[in-house]
Structure 1
Amino acid sequence: MNHNISILVADDHPMLLKGLMHELTEYGFNVLEGASNGAKALGIIDSKQPTIAILDINMPLLTGFEVIKKCKARGSLTRFIILTSYKEKEVILKARNMGVSGYLLKDEPFLEIKNCIQAVMKGEFYASKVFDEIFKTEIHPELEKIKYLSPSERTIVRLIAQEKSSKDISGLLAISIRTVQKHRSNIIAKLDLPSDSDALSVWITKNKEIFFSL
């Protein structure tokens, strides 16, 4: 029953915060005091341990992601739904990698939020339908390319992501710089990247969340 589900809503836009709290109350949920910044949201989660926290990403004092990270570190059992305007694949994957249960766009109808809550309570991940297309066109193709990388090549990609130079990688893995460079060439070929010197670093920066989601 909805009244057994306690919900915190945190957003720094007063009208959206008030409207969402009103709608959730109409649906019969136990809606706690709202939060207009991340620090207040964290305090309420710590003290009230709501079933679900619906968080904006960009908030004063603490971002939604910072709130989630701190709550996870403290062993909170609260489940998190992100409500945002961000459609970028990097942000979506960052949310997934942090263990977020839902990811919705702010222009969704209120009914979609109810559907999301119901899915989350069943232990399912729920996201706005627009992300199906983003996954199909932007994320899935890169995942398919990454599958062709060998374990050694994946290790090198991780080290490059940590801003290690070829010399650093050579020392860490006890292999020659020439071997590192050969691995880099193979990685560039498998990822179907241009052969210029910055192509791999640019790809890693854009697709870091995809790579580390594996």
Structure 2
Amino acid sequence: MTAERPITVMLVDDHAVVRSGMRAFFDLVDDIEVVAEAVDGQDALNRLGALAAQGQTPDVLLLDLVMPRLDGLTAIGVIRERHPDVEVVVLTSFGQTERVQAALEAGAAGFLLKDAEADELAAAVRAARRGEMHLDPGVARRLTRSLMPGRDTGRDLTKREHEVLTLIAQGLSNREIAGRLVITERTARTHVSNVLAKTGCGSRTQAALWAVRQGLVPSPADQP
């Protein structure tokens, strides 16, 4: 076992065989522990609420997108609003660019397809716990190709805006950016707005992927 406590995970999928398979794999991984399961988005919210009341909120949710009652995409937004310390990694069978973008916009920290290797699943959980984004390599390539080109380069960005863009690509919030750069949150918000305007991007996710496309930050598919 590692010296630190294991990363705690909730499995959210309406197929029992999928949850069983993931649990069996994680039982063999020293630094990741499955602490709860849910059969759909609504069940996940209910269980998260109960766990939060006990001070036992999991670190990461592995979540399918297509489920009854409350679909995964809707659930992501509610989870991130109610439990901002819980990271969400999508594990689904559908990798259309629109689905991926919607999941990332909703607040997902990763996106994997169900044919991913087991080691990649563990890597995505660990990355989410570190506050990093992990994407299926094929999905990442399609996303970067699908982006609106915006401006050709980042030459119009100031040095500070380059720093902010790098932190956006790492998934940091305005508050976290402010803390990292030792500036006020209001100033960080202004820098983020300037970055979006100058890159022609409509969201933080698009700005992060634009930065990857321009070679300003490593692609999630290239990160260890």
**TM-score bin (small chain):** 0.5 to 0.7
Matches of 1:13 and 1:24, distance apart in 2? 17
Write the letter of the residue equivalent to 2:102: K
User: What RMSD in Å do the two structures reach over aligned CA positions?
Assistant: 2.0
| Partner SS, residue 135 of structure 1 | helix
- 1:121 deviates by 2.1
Alignment of 1:66-85 (within 5 A): 66-85=74-93
In the superposition, relative to structure 1, how do residues 21 and 3 fare at CA in structure 2: closer, same or farther (>3 Å)?
farther
Equivalent position of 2:36 in the other structure: 33
Q: 2:103 aligns with which of 81, 95, 100?
A: 95
- 1:129 is matched with 137
User: Is 1:16 matched with 2:18?
Assistant: yes
Match of residue 44, structure 1, among 39, 44, 47: 47
In structure 1, distance between residues paired with 2:7 and 2:47: 15
Contact 1:3 1:30 survives alignment (8 Å): no
Q: Structure 2 matches for 1:1-214, cutoff 5 A?
A: 1=2, 3-28=5-30, 29-48=32-51, 49-137=57-145, 139-140=146-147, 143-144=148-149, 146-147=150-151, 211-212=202-203, 213-214=206-207
Structure 1 residues 114, 211: CA separation in 2 closer, same or farther (over 3 Å shift)? Answer: same
- The amino acid that maps onto 1:106 is K
- 1:114 and 1:56 map into 2 onto residues whose CA distance is 16
Distance in 2 (CA, whole Å) between partners of 1:39 and 1:75 is: 14
Q: Distance in 2 between matches of 1:132 and 1:69?
A: 21
User: What's the offset of the Cα at 1:47?
Assistant: 2.2
Asked whether the 8 Å contact 2:12–2:62 carries over to 1, the reply is yes
The structure with more helix, counted as a fraction of residues:
1
Q: Gapped runs of 5+ residues in structure 1?
A: 149-209
Aligned residues: 149
* Residue number in structure 1 paired with 2:198: none
- The question of whether the paired residues in 1 share the 8 Å contact of 2:76 and 2:103 is answered with no
| Pairwise CA distance, 1:211 | 4.7
Shift of 1:147: 4.2
Taking structure 2 as the reference length, the TM-score comes to: 0.61
State TM-score, norm by structure 1: 0.63
Q: CA deviation at 1:3?
A: 4.5
Q: CA deviation at 1:113?
A: 0.4
Aligned-residue sequence identity (percent) comes to 23
Structure 1 residues 106, 211: CA separation in 2 closer, same or farther (over 3 Å shift)? Answer: same
Query: Cα offset for 1:104?
Result: 0.3
Instruction: Report the 3-state secondary structure (helix = DSSP H, G, I; strand = E; otherwise coil) of the residue aligned with 1:76.
Output: coil
